[in-house]
Amino acid sequence: MKLILNGTETELKDGLTVTGLLETLKIDPGRVAVEVNLKIVKKCDYENHALNNMDAVEIVNFVGGG
């Protein structure tokens, strides 16, 4: 399936959950927040939130700022 991942169309394997996506990308879930189609996914739902073709997924973290 394809996801719009942080603004870029990206090919990923079918049937991923948010947990699966973060594992694939080697991202520590404790450091990020995830939004799917403009809705925040709570950490406790990562495991059960299935991603669908062409979902817009945003993964954000903290960067340097003032």
Partner 1 sequence: MDDKLIIRGIEFKSRLWVGTGKYRDFEETRKAIEASGADVVTVAVRRTNIFDNKSENLLDYIDLKKYKILPNTAGCYTLEDALRYARLARETGISDLIKIEVIGDEKTLFPDSCATLKATEILAKEGFIVLPYINDDPVMALRLVDAGAAAVMPLAAPIGSGLGIRNPYNLKIILEQAKVPIIVDAGVGTASDVALAMELGCDAVLLNTAIAGAKDPIAMAEAMKYGVIAGRLAFKAGRIQRKLYATASSPIEGML
Instruction: Give the closest residue to 46 by CA, choosing from 22, 15, 11, 14.
Output: 22
Q: Please give the size of the binding site for partner 1, defined by CB under 8 A.
A: 26
- Which residues ranging from 17 to 56 are in contact with partner 1 (CB under 8 A)? 25-27, 30-35, 38, 40, 42-43
By residue count, the chain amounts to 66
> How far is 46 from 19, CA to CA, in rounded Å?
5
Q: Which is nearer to partner 1, 19 or 58 (CB)?
A: 58
Both tokens assigned to 62: 């903290």
Q: Which is nearer to partner 1, 15 or 42 (CB)?
A: 42
Judged by CB under 8 A, does residue 9 bind partner 1? no
Both tokens assigned to 58: 């945003």
Q: Which is nearer to partner 1, 14 or 44 (CB)?
A: 44
